[in-house]
Amino acid sequence: MEIDPSKCARDLSWTSPALPAPAGGLSAVPGHAESDPPPSIAAAAGATVDEVLARAQAGDHQAFAHLYALHKRRIYSLCLRMVGNVAEAEDLTQEAFLQLFRKIGTFRGDSAFSTWLHRMAINVVLMRLRKKGLSLISLDEAMEPAPEERPGRSFGTPDLTLTGSIDRLALERAVANLPAGYRLIFVLHDIEGYEHNEIAELLDCSIGNSKSQLHKARLKLRDALRKSSRQEERR
């Protein structure tokens, strides 16, 4: 039987009677707890997220499809931002959920499920990047962009500062165009809310390296946003 995860999110009539939404729910990924899928999606239709998770762990395909429906946007967005490429992000999202399928039975609830899945997806992306030759072991070298990719400096150019709000699309575009090493650090720290010590562990680099690379990434983004803003003004 084909399972449509989009229906799973709405129609959980196959599940057990309604229970109150779990207190912890899915909101434990740092930085963006508010954007997690609301546990009430499941609870309102008759199952708590914990119940769905337990069913998926027991091998229930419909429950797994429901987990996909709940987390697909976050995982796909994460992959897309980390690699900056749609086709690769789709492939990585597929790989992340395949990994989830293989390992869901090992989830013990030591952290929130969304945090666990999120970390798994990041590792899938990092594995892929390693295979592609981005050596995260010698991170200093690997993450140092070529001279032409280094962020420009702003000596004596007080003409345009980033006052007020930053256009979301311009920022997304600028992030997608960052060199891979800068993008990884920026996405993990500034967008996903990971701390430098966590990033250092994930990327096998020093905390100082993570901090300095983040600074360079922000400088590069500032250059891109100023450029984009000037282009807008000329129109």
Partner 1 sequence: MSEHSRPMSCLEFQEKLPELIASGESIAHHPHYQNCELCRALLADLETIAEAARQLLPVVEPPDDLWSQIETAIREEENSPEKG
Asked if 44 touches partner 1 (CB under 8 A), the answer is no
Closer Cβ to partner 1, 16 or 161, answer by number: 161
User: If binding is defined by CB under 8 A, does position 94 make contact with partner 1?
Assistant: yes
- H runs (alpha helix) in the chain: 5-10, 40-45, 49-57, 61-83, 86-103, 113-131, 139-143, 168-176, 180-186, 196-203, 207-234
Query: Which one of 211, 227, 228, 229 is in contact with partner 1 (CB under 8 A)?
Result: 211
158 lies in the binding site for partner 1 (CB under 8 A): yes
Q: For the CB of residue 148, give the shortest distance to partner 1 in the complex, in Å.
A: 17
126-136 residues labelled b (16+ CB within 10 A) or e (exposed) = bebbeeeeeeb
Report d(CA 221, CA 183) in Å as an integer. Answer: 10
222 forms part of the interface with partner 1 (CB under 8 A): yes
Work out how close the CB of 215 gets to partner 1 at its nearest, in angstroms, rounded to a whole number.
5
- For residue 96, give the DSSP letter: H
* Interface with partner 1: number of residues (CB under 8 A): 59
**Residue 201 Cβ, how far from partner 1 at the closest point, in Å?**
17
Instruction: Determine if 38 is a binding residue for partner 1 (CB under 8 A).
Output: no
Q: At CA 182, angle to CA 176 and CA 186, rounded to 5?
A: 75
Among 27, 40, 212, 229, binds partner 1 (CB under 8 A): 212
CA separation for the pair 49, 24 (Å, rounded): 10
Instruction: Assign 31 to helix, strand or coil.
Output: coil
Binding residue (CB under 8 A) for partner 1 from 125, 186, 194, 198: 186
Q: Is 58 in the site for partner 1 (CB under 8 A)?
A: no
DSSP states of 106-135 as a string? Answer: G--SSS-HHHHHHHHHHHHHHHHHHHTT--
13 binds partner 1, rule: CB under 8 A: no
3-state secondary structure of 230: helix
- 19/112 with CB nearer partner 1: 112
| Site of interaction with partner 1 (CB under 8 A) | 2-6, 31-32, 35, 61, 64-65, 68, 72-74, 76-78, 80, 89-90, 93-94, 97-98, 101-102, 153-156, 158, 161-163, 165-166, 168, 171-172, 175, 186, 190-191, 193, 206, 208-209, 211-216, 218-219, 221-222, 225
